[in-house]
Amino acid sequence: HAMKLIVKFNLVFIVVFLLGLAAAGSVSNQLLQRNARDEIVLNARLVMEAALATRAYTSTQVGPLLQTQMKYKFLPQSIPAYSAREVFNGLSKAFPEYAYKEAALNPTNPGNRANDWEADIINRFRNTADAREVVGERDTPNGGSFYIARPIQIKDGACLYCHSTVDAAPKTFVERYGPANG
């Protein structure tokens, strides 16, 4: 009788132990997944802020220095988006898992033309005026891809020099990109 009781107790103990172990494993997995995602979001935001800081630097310090030369030859180094892209290209050599794109429906630079999923996000920003950021994941042929998107908004009047009408844009800019991309 005592032996049967010990076996029953051990079986109940093992079942309770396995249930506890499974529950602890599930909670640990969820915490690790959440921490990994938070770290990815933090790193992606850091990369994005570096690109935005590069844009601001180019806009306020580099662009004005090149204005006179722009009358004779278009210099892409004067364009904030170009500078951000170049800096990111340097970063991507060390961090190839990150990508940066200033996607637009009708971009000046054809390399920034939005693909289908990016166009969906752009339209979401257009339809939701107070949206500041979209964070998500999408399936790709290479597996899941995490993204952070923010709307491109012209807040600096100096940007309208090239991004308003073809007539307002520098002649050398229109010569490079053509009137259709104005």
pLDDT (tens digit, 9 = 90+) per residue, 16-72?
Answer: 999 999 999 999 999 999 999 899 889 889 988 999 899 889 988 998 888 888 888
Q: What are the residues whose beta carbons fall under 8 Å from the beta carbon of 56, sequence distance 6 or more?
A: 80
Neighbours of 63 (CB within 10 A): 20
- Token pair of 28 as six digits: 């640990």
| Count of residues in the chain | 182
The structure's pTM equals 0.73
The phi-psi region of residue 143 (left if phi > 0; otherwise alpha if psi is between -120 and 50; otherwise beta) is left
- How far apart CA 150 and CA 48 sit, in angstroms, is 9
pLDDT at residue 117, as a whole number: 93
- Residue 24 has what pLDDT? 95
Beta strand extents in 10-99 (DSSP E only): none
